[in-house]
Structure 1
Amino acid sequence: MYDNMSEVKGGYTHLTTYFNSSDALSTDAYRLYMDDSIFIPCPAGFIHLDSFRIYEALEAGCIPIVENSRDFDFFTPYLGDNPVPMITDWSEAPVLIDRLYQSGNVENCRKQCYQWWTEYKSTIRENLARDIKNLGRSFFL
């Protein structure tokens, strides 16, 4: 991932020696970089493809580039239809970014991701409130 993302012109990369190492960015520095970024690479987690990086990128209003599986679509079954760009190999990321810039669709993609994420969170809140309300009713029946 690092080598491929280093190819992106105008990009910023920061390599650490290991998770939570002394050469890691501080939380404040990390947030500043995210606030100033458009694309955020979101590699798979240690156990499965999902990771907190995706949601941090969406919360920051960035376009997450998500590593998905070659064998099956991990994200669509629980996130539903979404505009988040997904790749199966990190060599695809610079090509994807370049294609979005060349087509003039970067801002449109960012807005689509942000709008989808905002609506998705709203739907989760509504469903949770409904479920809690229904659960409360079942205790009094």
Structure 2
Amino acid sequence: MSSNKLVGEDLLKLPNVHYEKNSDYRFEELNEGLFIAGVFDELQRIMKANFSDFEFFIFTNHKKDALPESIHVKSNKRKVLFYFSDESGKDPRPYAKHYFAIFKAYIGDRFNSGNIFPIQIGYVKDVPAFLPVKPIMERTYNVFFRGNLNKNRIDFFRNLAGFKWLLPPQRIFNGELYRKVLLKTQDDFSGKFPDSILMFNSSFKSGFSTEKYGEILSESKIVLCPKGYDMTECFRHFEGMRAGCVIVSERLPNTAFYRGSPIIEIDDWKQGMATVKELLNDPERLKALQAQMIEWWETRCSEQATAKYVHERINSLLDNTHGKSAKD
């Protein structure tokens, strides 16, 4: 596991690591800041002296027309861009020629350009990891979800509600009004399953404190992951994975971080509720899934595993470059 020695300003003191000035946040404000620092900590260790052969740029921006300023930076080193926080998953291909490689969160498998790669989105820096991971059958809570009732979670809400057939159809309200109507109707569905916590907030991070949230994750058997505000991917996937929870999620992108993973993917939340019931009646499957989830986090999605993924993609581009040079 990563030691996370590089945090905040320490990472940005490295002479070849730069934080884009037109990012939406200061680096220390980033939800994924600790994860990014951990990846670079591991990347330095893996790449050794070769780390200094590259110029790394970190960009975090939500704005539709925002571009990283490093497009215009001239360098005798190979430029690599890490682009986080853009939940709309904008296409980076128009400026790919300005970089040796681009690693961008939230793009899934949609942009198949030779030097563009998806990267996982990490976890919220203030959500603690409780180690060692507690065995699943010793945990306090059966099922856990607490999060924002965004526009993509209406089906999730309706399938938690025992009275869903009494709810007015969504088509008669605009999205924001319907969301408010639902929250006024009920926001706590913890009784859906025994010994569970299932609650909605009105906005992101407005429920439990991050410390309390991390503690409950570590005590939960199954974590439900409905779609985020724009994309299916959300921090909860990786926080739950790191905590050794069994994850039930809507369909995820076909990337190295999800393809073949033990995350249970469902088409809708009617199927999701039935899946949860089956899991709660099958302790042996829960134990097996937890073991697989812990291994997946460590070998595919942790800071160490993500740094290895980045290194392998960079090496693949170097091999292609060297191959072309040899032919020329």
1:129–1:15 Cα change, 3 Å: same
Task: Give the number of aligned pairs.
Answer: 133
Q: Is 1:86 paired with 2:271? A: no
Tell me: CA distance 1:123–1:29, structure 2 relative to 1, closer, same or farther (3 Å): closer
By how many angstroms is 1:87 displaced? 1.4
Q: Which runs of 5+ in 1 are unaligned?
A: 69-73
TM-score normalized by the length of structure 1? 0.76
Higher helix share: 1
Structure 1 partner of 2:195: 10
Percent sequence identity over matched residues? 20
CA shift digits 1:76-107 (9 cap, x unpaired): 34432111111122222332122123233111
Q: Which of these residues, 34, 37, 40, is aligned with residue 217 of structure 2?
A: 34
Name the Cα RMSD after superposition.
2.7
Asked if the contact 1:8/1:94 (under 8 Å) is kept, the reply is: no
Structure 2 segments unaligned to the other structure (5+ residues): 1-155, 161-188
CA contact (8 A) 1:34 1:62 kept: yes
Partner of 1:97: 276
- Matched with 1:106 is 286
Local SS of the residue matching 2:280 = helix
Partner of 1:118: 298
Instruction: Assess if the C-alpha contact under 8 Å between 1:84 and 1:113 holds in 2.
Output: yes
The higher radius of gyration belongs to 2
In 2, are the aligned partners of 1:40 and 1:65 still within 8 Å (CA)?
yes
> Which residue matches 2:311?
129
Task: Look up the SS of the partner of 1:10 in the other structure.
Answer: coil
Is 2:236 aligned against 1:57? no
State the match for 1:71 in structure 2: none
d(CA) in 1 for partners of 2:286, 2:316: 42
**Structure-2-length-normalised TM-score:** 0.36
Q: Structure 1 CA distance, aligned partners of 2:312 and 2:273?
A: 42
| SS of aligned partner of 1:13 | strand
Structure possessing the higher relative contact order (Cα contacts under 8 Å, 6 or more residues apart): 1
Provide the rounded CA distance (Å) in 2 between the counterparts of 1:49 and 1:33: 22
User: Which secondary structure state, in structure 2, belongs to the residue aligned with residue 117 of structure 1?
Assistant: helix
